[in-house]
Structure 1
Amino acid sequence: MSARAEFDEVDMAILRALQEDGGRSAKAVAQLVGLSQPACWRRIRRLEEEGVIRGRRVRLDLRRLGYEVTVFLGVKLAARGRASLEDFERAVTAIPEVQLVQHVLGVYDYRLKVVARDLADFERILRRRILTLPGVGEVESNVLLSEEKSTPGLS
């Protein structure tokens, strides 16, 4: 498999349909994209085997579950070196409220997405969990006010 494979319009339509609703059956996707169910199933299977489709997820409304605050953190590690990166990554991924961990290039080493029930809960998570992680030096917090667009894949 090449790092970047070529996909035709039907493949792209299938991906958009599944991105919109990952629970759609091959039959439902086939009807949307104008294929037979077996042909659509084969294409979906190929896209999965090639790693283009990496799974299907349920998108939850976190506010309805009581998570009212989303905070993006920029984390700069104090110590450099591969061991400190691995220790930090192992520890941060174990925190349930941390939904996203991205190793980035720029001012900060990592970008995190953290959810909390309220600001007091976020402060507890920050003080007791994030700031005590191995290698953490500097942290910048940005509280999400509103989300204008959220497109997890193709638009």
Structure 2
Amino acid sequence: MIELDETDREILRALVRDATQSAGAIGRALGLSQPATWRRINRLQKAGVIAGRRIDLDLDRLGFGVTVFLGIKLATKGRVSLEDFERAASAIPEVQTIQHVLGLYDYRLRIVARDLSDFERVLRRRIMTLPGVGNVEANVLLSEERRPGPLG
């Protein structure tokens, strides 16, 4: 585990708000030089604290108006490897995340679809044909709030 000082935390907060900011812009906001800020960001990346940068897409504007969380209980864990299930699920374009979880279900999938009939098609033709699928529970996302996370 890497030691983080308050300046490191401020840099991380700035990047969480907008990962496209330059080291110079972040440095100016924090009273640091661009090279000093860049060195800190580079150190955080090399230590694995910054695992990557990503873009958040507006799924509604792209035509994906429905997000569904599926809880999936595998019926035949002994006969189907978890890797086989994960590989097959990750090949489905509508599946955004695959989480192996502890509890009532073995997996939690986040799926996007154009509408409910599109989701039904994905469920029937793709999800229910995955290796080892047993019980499935769907929860439709009504709204989502972005939380700042532990660095808040």
Tell me if both proteins adopt one fold, taking TM over 0.5 as the criterion. Answer: yes
CA offsets 1:34-73 (integer angstroms, 9 cap, x no match):
2111010000001110111111111110000000000000
What RMSD in Å do the two structures reach over aligned CA positions? 1.4
CA offsets 1:95-127 (integer angstroms, 9 cap, x no match):
111111110000000111000000000000001
Superposition deviation, residue 6 in structure 1:
2.0
The answer to whether the aligner puts 1:28 opposite 2:37 as a matched pair is no
Q: Find the residue that maps to 1:141 and give its secondary structure.
A: strand
Superposition deviation, residue 146 in structure 1:
1.3
Report if the CA contact (8 A) 1:17-1:32 is conserved: no
Return the letter of the residue paired with 2:66: V
Q: Find the residue that maps to 1:113 and give its secondary structure.
A: strand
The answer to whether the aligner puts 1:56 opposite 2:56 as a matched pair is no
Distance 2:48 2:84 in 1: 28
Distance 1:112 1:152 in 2: 22
Q: How many residues align?
A: 151
Most deviating of 131-140 and 25-34: 25-34
CA offsets 1:58-93 (integer angstroms, 9 cap, x no match):
111000000000000000001124952010000111
Query: TM-score, length-normalised on structure 2?
Result: 0.94
Q: Find the residue that maps to 1:43 and give its secondary structure.
A: helix
Report if the CA contact (8 A) 2:80-2:131 is conserved: no
Report if the CA contact (8 A) 1:92-1:130 is conserved: yes
Return the letter of the residue paired with 1:126: L
Superposition deviation, residue 145 in structure 1:
1.0
Distance change in 2, residues 1:20/1:95 (3 Å): same
